[in-house]
Amino acid sequence: MTRAFVFPGQGAQTIGMGKALAEAYPAAKAVFDEVDEALGESLSGLIWDGEQDDLTLTQNAQPALMATSLAAMRALEAEGVGIQAAAYVAGHSLGEYSALAAAGALSIADAARLLRTRGLAMQQAVPVGIGAMAALLGLDFATADKIARQAAKDTQQVCQAANDNDPAQVVISGHADAIKHAVELAREAGAKRAVMLPVSAPFHCALMEPAAAVMAEALEKVDIKEPAVPLVANVLAHDVSQPSTVRSLLVDQVTGSVRWRESVAWMAGKGVTEFWEIGAGKALSGMIRRIDKTATTRAVGTPDEVKAAVESLAASADN
């Protein structure tokens, strides 16, 4: 059975995530310690005992989710399952940094600092209230993309398809007025639901260009190695390994679409039948099953889930 390790993005954060991993596995606790040291603050204290509103702030949620994913990865490694158990890694938006750190392309400290910079830059790129995002449910990507383009034309503002999540879920991003107009167009086009999202900035669209410039500068100062297994990149929806390519794609990703549906379909086309969601939540697993109804998914974010994953791997090896 061929598998991929996938890493969640923003929205999966919850108070207490990763705490049981840190208590059960010294290697998982070491990840949180390393992130705290890299950021010069107790992010782990916020993750485990803070307020959800504070954790949800972009500059906190991004490194926090990476830390939780890497803690789960270290727990797997402590049980004898390394990154080589996967044929590919992929991450949804910020999860791409988690995937790269898990595959040894980025250090955990560098990933934490980059994600803090990324979160702040994305938040500061657009004044609060100017931008917005919305989820269009029940429309395929081609229809949603057409609606976004029409709304941009009608309003003379930015409106782009930001996340192609699965066959019936597309997130659009841009100026608030354009997004509201697109929501109306989507409802007229027969969307099951078209709803504004409670986000603090319009991610993955042209309005994020100031953040992309910040990330280009930050990434130039960081050592990126070839990942131990190929990364399926958000903006390309296929595999990359060359460090210089990875670096440029991480910049492109700030303003580019997250092509998740295509990424999962590409991996399935390469023979991946099992996807392990490493870290917090199960949102990616739901998307994956809607993209490929034959795929097996497994959440790996608690000690019990780690042990179950390891046992499943041993069982498949015996068969």
Quick check: helix, strand or coil at residue 309? helix
Alpha helices in the chain (DSSP H): 19-24, 26-39, 43-49, 52-56, 58-78, 95-102, 108-125, 141-155, 176-188, 209-220, 243-255, 260-269, 283-291, 303-318
Active site residue 238: no
Choice among 44, 181, 204, 257 that is catalytic: 204
- Within 8 A by CB and 6+ apart from 198, the residues are none
In the residue annotation, 204 being an active-site residue is answered as yes
304-308 contacts: CB < 8 A, separation 24 or more? Answer: 306/21, 306/25, 306/72, 306/75, 306/76, 306/79, 307/79
The C-alpha atoms of residue 110 and residue 114 are separated, in whole angstroms, by: 6
Q: How many CB atoms lie within 10 A of CB 100?
A: 26
- How many of the other CB atoms lie within 10 Å of CB of 314? 12
Q: Which of 294, 98, 129, 297 is nearest to 198 (CA)?
A: 129
Active-site option among 44, 69, 92, 93: 93
Active centre residues (catalytic): 93, 204
